Amino acid sequence: ARDGEDGPPNRFMVGDVKQSIYRFRHADPGLFMAKYAAYRPWSGAPEPGAAGARIVLGANFRSREGVVNAVNFLFRQIMTARAGELEYDRDAELVYRAGYPPLPGGDGGEPAPEPPVELHLLDGEEPAPDGAGDPSGAGGEADPGGFEAAAGAGDGTAGDGEDEAADPLLEELAELTAIEREARLIAARIREMVDGTAGQPPVQVWDRKLQAYRPLRYRDIAILLRAATGRINVLMEVLTQAGIPAYGQMATGYFQATEVRVFLSLLQVLDNPRQDIPLAAVLHSPIVGLSAADLARIRLAAPRGSFYDALVAAAAPQEAMAVRDAAAAAETALVEATPDAAAGGTPDGAAAATPHGAAAATPDGVAGATPDGAAAATPDGVAGAAPDGAAGAKPDGAAKAAQDAGAEGAAPDLQKVLSRFLESLDRWRTLARRRPLSQVVWQILQETGYLHYVGGMPGGAQRQANLLALYERAREFDQFARQGLFRFLRFIERLQAEQSDMGTAPALGEGEDVVRIMSIHKSKGLEFPVVFVAGLGSRFSEQDLSGDLLLHRDLGFGPQLVDPELRLKYPTLAYHAVREATRLANLAEELRVLYVALTRARERLILVGSVSSLRKACTGWARALAAPGWALPESLLLSARCYLDWIGPAVMRHADGAPLRKLAEEAGLAGEGGLNPAVAGDPSRWAVTIWTPVSLGELLQAGEQAAPPALDWARVGAAEPLDVPADEALSARLRERFGWRYPFEPVVRRFGKLSVTELTGYFDPDDEAPAEALVAPEGAASSTFASRPRFLLEDRRALSPTERGTAMHVVLQHLDLGRPLDPAGVGIQLAEMVERELLTPQQAAAVDVEAIADFFASPLGARIVEARDRVQRELAFTLAVPAAEVYGDLPPEVAAGDVVIVQGMIDLLLAEEDGYVLVDYKTDRRDPEQAAQRYVTQVRLYRRAVEEILGRPVKEAYLHFLASRRSIAM
């Protein structure tokens, strides 16, 4: 590329510096801005001597006008040359060009107004009764203290001493982090938008393919986060609990997934069964399906020693009654001794009474042994068949036995379950020593049904993908020289010890109907009809603003001064300079990141953020009201600690920002100079909603009441009918899906590729192979080996008729037609073929030399010899024949458009001026006239193949029967 050195400039640079968000990869927006400032605006024609021109492409063909106006409104105020390294002027603004049709309105036919941009602010502080309150905290990550104060407020009643104001939902909200509260709000808002409310139908979005509005789907929604680590999994969990399918690519969390931990525990037990924690986890998991009471009874079978010893003892038939008696005695003793702790003889208490509570029986010692400990192995309630922990549906059929094991006299049933598990364990351990690890993993998944079981749990597709990813990792590990179960487990342990966790396996494609959760950086270049931007109250990262030595690309080193005598260190002037320059560059980067996030939305933009004390934050934001122009005061812009410190002051200046101004007015800090008319009257529309702990709790409680009742998982596991109202629409869909049959099933069971010989037999009613032979049995595979291997031929004294025919065809294919073809001449060439290893001596002995010589002495043979330069022999072809022609019994609507691939070999083709002469050799010993009728279909297909492929007619076709020395014209 050049800039005018040896010709006109031909370098094109295209980009949007407002979307340069990779400073952490050392991207420098200043390089682009230098060119942007150096080039003159494009005037419509090249200017002589100009170094270059700048063409502004400001048209936006993605977003609705409401989104475009809101983005322009915000960044006119917050993106300045000082704060954002770029002035958001007319050239930088977005220009609406998408041309969305008007939104469908109500019954009156009037179009609906443009939807506003929503700003949801979660206030961590509940106002005091007098409205003043004592705000604490500032803009930034929400602090749950406000929720704790609200949950604990209220006057106790003197009569009963109970706290009437204590709301369980508020107490629950007080224990949640900011992102968890935001996730619950987002889930509720998604439900409203997708399902609609009593007074509002579902949101309509424009479908570019359909060129029409349609109801919003989950796949139209994306949730963007500035920092995804530790947040995506929270959002996915909350959305899944709300019944909203969601997907987010997580960089960590694979080894913490319940199904992965359970299966790794099983692999650890296969390696060494004398590991109490993994063994108890497996027994308590759905793979075996034992309850905590069952684990306690196992421990009572052998109070001392490892849990595996107790398992073997409990599985022994002679110990069955002793286990029951010991369990009953221990439970009775514990109830009498500590009724509160034992709670009526619970298995946890019983385990505590044993001399060696062992990992399996202590609530804190072993994952999977008790309801508390089980969380380590099955945090999602995997030990039961459902989130409620019902022990109903066990994949290996142990459900009933595990339930009955807790009843009086049920020890024999428990013994059967344990015996079956020990038998399986021994067999799996044997397999692990003899087979590759991946085969062992797959066989266990199939035998236990665990892969299918987790597929029925919430987030089943993701859980199955995680288990399949574990299988794939085992298969990759099998390729190493040092392999095996022990080394694989050590490899996994090293990954966990080094905190080298892996992301969960991708389980969904682009077409899945799920809400997508991703970081803002991953969303760059993408677009979604509805975008939630969450975590706007999270503080900006200051990781690169601390340390003993700071670096800057222009200012150089910024060290701290260390005084070894006084044992002090303090920042130098250079340190302050580098730190401030880095901080300003980080703020400019965060502005660009925010710009990228807001411009991903096509139709709806919803902003969500948490503030520990919104009232106090608004008092700081109110300083923006006195700004004379569009831009916010630089002191306000440069002191921002989160995105809300930019969005809040900007929206407060809009006419729709009244809720924020009201909070500031309560502190007496609003109204200084009034609103700027130009800013307040901006055409953008905003819907500001402030959520206090009480109002958020009411919203979530209303959503829970509107949600369908939870299923009785115990009855589901027992395959019993549920007491739920009939859903005719659901029943109709189920009947449609389960009653559906593949319409092309008759075609599937027919061969799609046939040889001419097979087709000949199909059309020949007298052939020994019936037509049904062309219908493939289920699971059958056709063999491509028609002849015996040579080493078998050498041991045989006589060749089969088919093998003799093959030898004759080989000779006819390789004969030199220019040499003598009398019996002696054919014999000489036959001997040469044996020397060239085209034939074995045994095959050569089976060749009828007289029959071949007689053919070339016939008029047809002489004709071929004379025109030998125009002869093609053993001409292979492939032909596509409509399926309706091959399989006439197929329904026309099924066979329409389908073809059968037919392969064949033409023995000889002679080209003459007016067409081809086709010759096919036969070694049949039947009457030629009768045998010729059998090959009518074959010759017809040969004719068709020659005429369609070579484009010339076949004027003559002959069958030459070598045994009877006759040629039959077809």
What is the percent of the chain with per-residue pLDDT over 70, rounded to a whole number?
Answer: 75
Q: Is residue 563 part of a domain?
A: no
Contact 849, 811 (CB under 8 A): no
- Do 11 and 79 belong together in one domain? no
Q: Rounded CA gap, 943 and 758, in Å?
A: 17
Q: How many folded domains does the chain comprise?
A: 4
Mean pLDDT lowest among 193-202, 430-439, 715-724: 715-724
Q: Is residue 733 part of a domain?
A: no
Confidence label for 725 from pLDDT (cuts 50, 70 and 90):
confident
Q: How many CB atoms lie within 10 A of CB 842?
A: 18
CATH of the domain at 437: 1.10.486.10
Q: Is residue 744 part of a domain?
A: no
Confidence label for 322 from pLDDT (cuts 50, 70 and 90):
low
Contacts 24+ apart (CB under 8 A), 487-492: 488/267, 488/437, 489/264, 489/267, 489/268, 489/271, 492/255, 492/264
- Do 81 and 145 belong together in one domain? yes
Residue 458 pLDDT exceeds 80? no
Q: Is residue 96 part of a domain?
A: yes
Residue 797 pLDDT exceeds 80? no
Q: Rounded CA gap, 234 and 244, in Å?
A: 13
- Do 479 and 526 belong together in one domain? no
Of the three residues 474, 497, 520, the one that is the final residue of a domain is 497
Q: Which residues are within 8 A (CB) of 244 and not within 5 positions of it... i.e. 6 or more apart?
A: 187, 190, 191, 218, 515
Confidence label for 445 from pLDDT (cuts 50, 70 and 90):
very high
Q: Which residues are within 8 A (CB) of 672 and not within 5 positions of it... i.e. 6 or more apart?
A: 622, 625, 626
pLDDT computed for residue 703 by the predictor: 64
Average pLDDT of the chain is 79
Cα–Cα distances in angstroms (integers) from residue 462 to residues 236, 237, 453, 713, 863, in the given order: 11, 12, 12, 21, 73
3-state secondary structure 431-455: HHHHCCHHHHHHHHHHHHCHHHHHH
Q: Is residue 579 part of a domain?
A: no
Q: Stretch 568-591: mean pLDDT, rounded?
A: 92
pLDDT by residue (tens digit) across 78-112? 999 888 888 999 989 999 999 999 988 766 567 88
Q: Is the dihedral of CA 424, 429, 430, 431 positive or negative?
A: positive
Residue 740 pLDDT exceeds 90? no
- Do 101 and 236 belong together in one domain? yes
pLDDT computed for residue 250 by the predictor: 66
Higher pLDDT, 197 or 549: 549
Which of 244-253, 281-290, 398-407 is predicted most confidently?
Answer: 281-290
- Do 814 and 960 belong together in one domain? yes
Of the three residues 57, 72, 88, the one that is the final residue of a domain is 57
Q: Rounded CA gap, 521 and 523, in Å?
A: 5
Mean pLDDT lowest among 47-56, 397-406, 589-598, 912-921: 397-406
Of the three residues 704, 737, 767, the one that is the final residue of a domain is 704
Q: Is residue 141 part of a domain?
A: yes
- Do 216 and 334 belong together in one domain? no
Residue 537 pLDDT exceeds 50? yes
CATH of the domain at 175: 3.40.50.300
What domain range includes position 48? Answer: 1-57
Q: Helices (H), strands (E): how many in the chain?
A: 44, 22
Confidence label for 511 from pLDDT (cuts 50, 70 and 90):
low
CA 15 from centre of chain: 32
- Do 408 and 325 belong together in one domain? yes
pLDDT computed for residue 80 by the predictor: 92
DSSP state of 23: G
Residue 342 pLDDT exceeds 60? no
Higher pLDDT, 541 or 151: 541
- Tokens standing for residue 1: 């590329």
Q: Is residue 908 part of a domain?
A: yes
Helical (H) or strand (E) element with 360 = helix 358-361
- Do 117 and 235 belong together in one domain? yes
Q: Which residues pair with 605 in a beta bridge?
A: 531
Higher pLDDT, 193 or 770: 193
Confidence label for 142 from pLDDT (cuts 50, 70 and 90):
very low
- Do 679 and 666 belong together in one domain? yes
Residue 628 pLDDT exceeds 60? yes
Residue 36 pLDDT exceeds 90? no
Q: Stretch 814-830: mean pLDDT, rounded?
A: 91
CATH of the domain at 852: 3.90.320.10
Higher pLDDT, 585 or 346: 585
Q: Stretch 443-468: mean pLDDT, rounded?
A: 86
pLDDT computed for residue 187 by the predictor: 93
Confidence label for 501 from pLDDT (cuts 50, 70 and 90):
low
- Do 816 and 939 belong together in one domain? yes
- Do 943 and 960 belong together in one domain? yes
- Do 850 and 946 belong together in one domain? yes
Residue 669 pLDDT exceeds 80? no
Q: Stretch 287-316: mean pLDDT, rounded?
A: 89
Higher pLDDT, 919 or 144: 919
Residue 672 pLDDT exceeds 50? no
Cα–Cα distances in angstroms (integers) from residue 9 to residues 1, 51, 174, 190, 823, in the given order: 8, 8, 63, 51, 83
Q: Is residue 580 part of a domain?
A: no
